[in-house]
Amino acid sequence: MQGQCGFASIITRRALHRSRGKTPIQRGRRRERGKGRTLWYLQEEIDDPDAEKLSIFVATWNQAGKSTPKMLNFIPVGMHDAYFIASQECGASIETSVLLNYTGAWEAKLIEHFGKEYERVGSTYLTATHSILFIRSSLAAQLTRIETAYVATGVGDFFGNKGGIAISCNIGETSFLFVNSHFHADQAGVEQRNADYEKIEKRLGLRKEKDDHETRCSDGFERVFWAGDLNYRCNCNRGIAESLIRDRNLEPLLLNEQLRREMRSKKVFEGYREADIKFPPTYKFDVGTNAYDSSKKNRVPSWTDRILWRSKAKVTCTHYDSLPSVRTSDHKPVVGLYSVPWVRREKGGGGVRNTQSSACVVQ
C-alpha cells in the first residue's frame, strides 16, 4: 500500500522551464466574448514542452469534525510553487458549524506550517468546508484578480451543510480556478450528487454576469482544479469489495465506481480528467485505524475523496495517492501533484492584495 511514509521522500523537486517568445499555448488559444466574460476554447489539449511549469500540490481531506494532527508533515512545504488545501467537516461537525465558524484553528495551523516562504493567496469557508491557497512568495507579484465565491446546495439550497467554495486568480497571464465541494451522501444519492455539481458550476459567480446561472463557471478559466468529498460510492457487495482490496485488485471495483460511470456517460464533470487511481478506497474507516467501517451500516469502501482537473493546455499529474498513515478521521486525505503550464507576466502590477479570509456560515 502506497503512502505509508511522508511524501517528502517520494516527491521529486520541481523543474521550471522558461519559454521564449510566443508559446504554442499562446498561439493556440482564442477568446470569444459572451455574457460579459472571456470564454476559452482549444480544439485539442496542447502540449508545449518548452512552456514554463508551475508545480502545484492539491489535497482534499474530510476531517470528520475531529482534531487535526499535531504534525503536518504530510504536507511537504518548500517543494512546490502552489498549494491548494481543501477540507470538509473541518474543525467541528457540520451540525455544530451551522452557526459558528470552527475552521480558524486549522487555517492558523496551515499558515504557521507554510511560514514566510509562502503567501496566502486567499481562503474561504462555507459552514464546515474550508479552502486555502498558498503560493511561493517569489511568485506573489504574478498574482492578480483574486476572488472567492460559494454556492450552498444543502437543505433548500439555503444551508451550507453541502455545497462548494472557490478561489480564483490569475498567475501571470494564466487564469486559475480552485474549487472545493462536499456533495450529498448515501449509496443511492447519485442524482443528488450530479445536481450538486451542476448547481455549483452554474451558480459560482466568478468572471461572469451576476444573473448568469446557465454558463459553467469553469468555462471562464484556463486551469481548473476541483477537489473534495464528492461522496460517490462503489456499487458492490461489502465482502467482495474487501476481498478485492486485500488482493490489490482494484480494477473490478473501479469499474463499478459511481463517479467514473457518471463521467463516462457525460452526466457530470464533462471535460474533466482524473489521474489513475492506484490507492485503496478512502472511506469509511474506523477512526484511529486502517480498518473499514465496522458499524451496523457496514458501508462499502469507496473513493469518496477525489481531485479532478480541467485545462486548455496539457497538465501532467505526477503523483496521486491517499495517506493511510493519517488516522484521525473516517476519511483518508488524498493528494495530487501537478505540473501546470503557465505564461509569466514580464512586468509587475500584481501581488497578494487581500489576505483576509472570506466566509459564509448560512447562505
Q: What is the pLDDT of residues 85-128, one digit of tens each?
A: 999 999 988 888 888 889 999 999 999 999 999 999 999 999 99
Q: Residue 23 has what pLDDT? A: 40
Give the DSSP per-residue string, 158-188. Answer: TBTTSEEEEEEEEETTEEEEEEEEE---STT
Q: Give the separation between CA 340 and CA 310, rounded to whole angstroms.
A: 11
Helices (H), 6-80: 24-28
Is 323's pLDDT higher than 70?
yes
Least confident of 134-143, 181-190, 341-350: 341-350
Is 215's pLDDT higher than 60?
yes
Q: Give the separation between CA 200 and CA 108, rounded to whole angstroms.
A: 27
Is 337's pLDDT higher than 80?
yes
Beta strands 53-62; 82-88: pairing state: parallel
pLDDT averaged over every residue in the chain: 87
pLDDT band at 349 (very low <50, low <70, confident <90, very high): low
- Which grid coordinates belong to 55? 508545480
264 burial (CB, 10 Å; 0-12 / 13-18 / 19+) is: exposed
pLDDT tens digit sequence for 49-84: 778 999 999 999 999 999 888 889 999 999 999 999
pLDDT over 90, % of the chain: 73
Q: Which residue has the cell 478561489?
A: 167
Q: Give the separation between CA 142 and CA 85, rounded to whole angstroms.
A: 20
Q: Give the separation between CA 79 and CA 11, rounded to whole angstroms.
A: 8
pLDDT band at 14 (very low <50, low <70, confident <90, very high): very low
- Which grid coordinates belong to 227? 477537489
Q: Say which amino acid occupies 194.
A: N
Contact 180/165 with Cβ under 8 angstroms?
yes
pLDDT tens digit sequence for 150-180: 999 999 998 899 999 999 999 999 999 999 9
CA angle centred on 55, ends 51 and 60, rounded to 5°: 140
Task: Count H helices and E strands in the chain, helices first.
Answer: 7, 14
Contact 153/142 with Cβ under 8 angstroms?
no
